[in-house]
Amino acid sequence: MLVYGALASALQGVAFGFLPYTKDLETFIIVSYCLRLLAEAADVAVYVAVLAMVIAVFPESVASKMAICETFLGVGLCLGLRQIEVFAI
């Protein structure tokens, strides 16, 4: 799942880069929503795979590790890419 999620995320990122070259507004909106749906499906696949790996590595404290993973997923989704770009500069 991790590899498929990462691959799907990479493919939607590349496809999103070509989105401004669409001809009309209707196609742009439809393709945008489809790419966003693919991005979220890829994020879920990666999250499920990472959560399974964390639980396999730390079997003695599953609940606390799931809570930590869910917390950081929420923080990452709230911050988004804009705030992360500030730290990259």
pLDDT tens-digit readout, 4-42: 988 998 999 899 899 999 999 999 999 999 999 998 899
The whole-angstrom separation of Cα 26 and Cα 30 is: 6
Domain count of the fold of the chain: 1
Does residue 89 carry a pLDDT above 60?
no
The answer to whether the pTM exceeds 0.85 is: no
Q: Which is more confidently placed, 78 or 35?
A: 35
Residue 28, CA distances (Å) to 36, 41, 68 in order: 12, 20, 37
Q: What is the mean pLDDT of the chain?
A: 87
The whole-angstrom separation of Cα 56 and Cα 8 is: 24
Q: What whole-number percentage of the chain has pLDDT above 70?
A: 90
Structural domain that includes position 7: 2-88
The answer to whether 5 and 42 have CB atoms below 8 angstroms apart is yes
Does residue 68 carry a pLDDT above 70?
yes
The answer to whether 15 and 33 have CB atoms below 8 angstroms apart is no
